[in-house]
């Protein structure tokens, strides 16, 4: 388990708080906002997929549900644009989480590839519902959310940026806490050998479902904030099939199942995507580049940046200590154990 390093984190936190003040241009803060939003979503997805090893590709459904919950709340309660809608974000997250309970319960009866396919199918069911439950969602006509009219163009991104940062921090704190809890250990055990974990008393069904619902909650909040930012909702965009590929790619790039890997992935990929979208949006080149990156990661960095890096560092460190002739018993079997067998394969 990695040690807690508060200084680096505090510096990062201060930097992320100061960022929009240092770079107030709306073009930059928009990219920063989306980066934080995706970092939060990837962190949340990682709590489930990274820790349990179940690759869910239908979390975009909970983005959509969070978005529509937000829009419907604002409409029904006649909310004006301003700070008030932000308060509703956790509520939208709860709606997404509630919907995810039966969905997770069903999907988690299956494993591996079947699970992936089931989650994708569930996603499309929800997208279809958004098109067809016109009384609730207005169908393909879409919905609008209140616009904060008294915020100037220069100021507009600031509240969104900080709310996104807040969601990310809470999700990250939650993820850290899970990683260091008995519960998290159970999830990681499920990832390595589910049957064996079950045989050792881990309540695998409960554990997986809870993680699924937790991640749906945060992803729902991300959807709600996103909806409020773009101010309008259409089924095809609120329920975006690319979303899962993007956050999965972020997690794989940074390091699936690590604490900060998803954030690193988001920091690398989201600004890149925004840049490509701005430059080549008309011809969809960025999708080709994305596909190429996915291939490159799977081929050359299958474990992601952070695990590869930490393994490389560990290797360097251990070869260093062997040279020093110190601490070498840390990798040797102690007496009276028979150490005739090699330590590593």
Partner 1 sequence: MSYLEANGVRKAFGGVQALDGCSISVEKGSMTGLIGPNGSGKTTLFNVMTGYETVDDGDVRFDGTPIQNMSPDQVFALGIGRTFQLTRVFSRLTVLENMHVAVQRTGIRALFGRWSSSREQERALELLEFVGIIGLKDLPAGNLSYGQKKLLEFAYILIAEPKVILLDEPAGGVNPTMISYLSDRIRELNKMGVTFLIVEHNMEFVMSLCDRVMVMDHGTRIGDGSPDEVRNNPAVLDAYLGA
CA distance 300 to 254: 13
Candidate segments 69-77, 117-125, 180-188, 227-235, binder of partner 1 by CB under 8 A: 180-188
CA distance 50 to 262: 9
Chain position carrying tokens 């972020």: 250
Smaller CB separation from partner 1, 149 or 330: 330
Contact present, 276 and 289 (Cβ < 8 Å) = yes
Q: Does 319 bind partner 1 (CB under 8 A)?
A: no
In the complex, what is the shortest distance from the CB of residue 340 to partner 1, in angstroms, rounded to a whole number? 6
**What does the block give as tokens for 171?**
């999700």
Cβ 7 to partner 1, closest distance in Å?
A: 23
What is the smallest separation between the CB atom of 168 and partner 1, expressed in angstroms?
Answer: 23
Ranges within 196-215 binding partner 1 (CB under 8 A): 196-204, 210
| 129 near partner 1, judged by CB under 8 A | no
Length in residues, the chain: 345
In the complex with partner 1, which residue's Cβ is closer, 1 or 141? 1
Q: What b-and-e string marks burial along 129-150, b requiring 16 or more CB atoms within 10 Å of the CB?
A: bbeeeeeebbeeebbebbebee
Examine residue 325 and tell whether it contacts partner 1 (CB under 8 A): no
H or E, element range at 148: none
Query: Among 254, 245, 248, which Cα is nearest to 286's?
Result: 245
Residue 342 in contact with partner 1, rule: CB under 8 A: yes
Angle at 206 between CA 204 and CA 210, to 5 degrees: 115
24 or 327: CB nearest partner 1: 327
250 binds partner 1 (CB under 8 A): no
By the rule CB under 8 A, 58 interacts with partner 1: no
Distance, in Å, from the CA atom of 171 to the CA atom of 215, rounded to the nearest integer, reads 9
Q: Considering the complex, what minimum distance in angstroms separates the CB of residue 309 from partner 1?
A: 16
- Stretch in the footprint of partner 1 (CB under 8 A) among 37-45, 124-132, 153-161, 179-187: 179-187
State the alpha helices, DSSP H only, in 46-133.
51-52, 60-76, 84-87, 89-107, 112-132
150 binds partner 1 (CB under 8 A): no
3-state secondary structure of 38: helix
Report the residue from 78, 149, 150, 192 that binds partner 1 according to the rule CB under 8 A: 192
User: Within positions 4 to 33, which residues make up the interface with partner 1, using CB under 8 A?
Assistant: none
**Do the beta carbons of residue 85 and residue 145 sit within 8 Å?**
yes
Looking up tokens 């952070």 gives 306
Nearer to partner 1 (CB atom), residue 120 or residue 185: 185
Q: Name the helix (H) or strand (E) containing 343.
A: none
For residue 291, the minimal CB distance to partner 1 (Å) is: 28
Which of 101, 120, 185, 301 binds partner 1 (CB under 8 A)? It is 185
Which residues sit at the interface with partner 1, rule CB under 8 A?
Answer: 1, 180-186, 188-189, 191-193, 195-204, 210, 329-338, 340-345
């Amino acid at each position: 388990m990695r040690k807690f390093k508060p200084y680096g984190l505090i510096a990062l936190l201060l930097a992320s708080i100061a960022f929009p003040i240092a770079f107030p241009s709306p073009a930059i803060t928009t990219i920063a906002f989306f980066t934080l939003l995706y970092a939060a979503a990837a962190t949340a997805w990682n709590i489930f997929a990274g820790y349990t090893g179940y690759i869910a590709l239908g979390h975009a459904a909970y983005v959509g549900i969070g978005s529509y919950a937000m829009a419907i709340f604002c409409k029904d309660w006649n909310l004006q644009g301003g700070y008030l809608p932000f308060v509703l974000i956790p509520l939208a997250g709860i709606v997404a989480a509630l919907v995810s309970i039966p969905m997770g319960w069903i999907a988690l009866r299956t494993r591996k590839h079947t699970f992936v396919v089931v989650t994708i199918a569930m996603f499309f069911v929800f997208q279809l519902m958004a098109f067809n439950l016109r009384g609730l969602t207005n169908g393909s006509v879409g919905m609008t959310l209140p616009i904060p009219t008294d915020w100037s163009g220069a100021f507009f991104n600031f509240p969104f940026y900080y709310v996104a940062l807040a969601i990310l921090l809470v999700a990250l704190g939650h993820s850290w806490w899970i990683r260091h809890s008995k519960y998290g250990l159970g999830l990681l055990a499920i990832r390595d050998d589910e049957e064996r974990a079950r045989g050792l008393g881990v309540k695998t069904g409960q554990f997986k479902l809870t993680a699924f619902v937790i991640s749906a909650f945060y992803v729902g909040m991300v959807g709600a904030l996103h909806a409020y930012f773009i101010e309008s909702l259409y089924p095809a965009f609120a329920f975006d099939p690319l979303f899962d590929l993007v956050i999965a790619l972020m997690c794989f790039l940074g390091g699936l199942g690590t604490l900060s890997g998803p954030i690193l992935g988001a920091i690398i990929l989201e600004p890149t995507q925004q840049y490509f979208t701005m430059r080549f949006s008309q011809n969809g080149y960025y999708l080709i580049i994305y596909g190429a990156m996915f291939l490159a990661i799977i081929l050359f960095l299958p474990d992601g940046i952070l695990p590869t890096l930490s393994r490389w560092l560990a290797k360097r460190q251990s070869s260093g200590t062997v040279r020093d002739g110190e601490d070498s018993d840390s990798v040797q079997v102690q007496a009276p154990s028979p150490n005739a067998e090699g330590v590593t394969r």
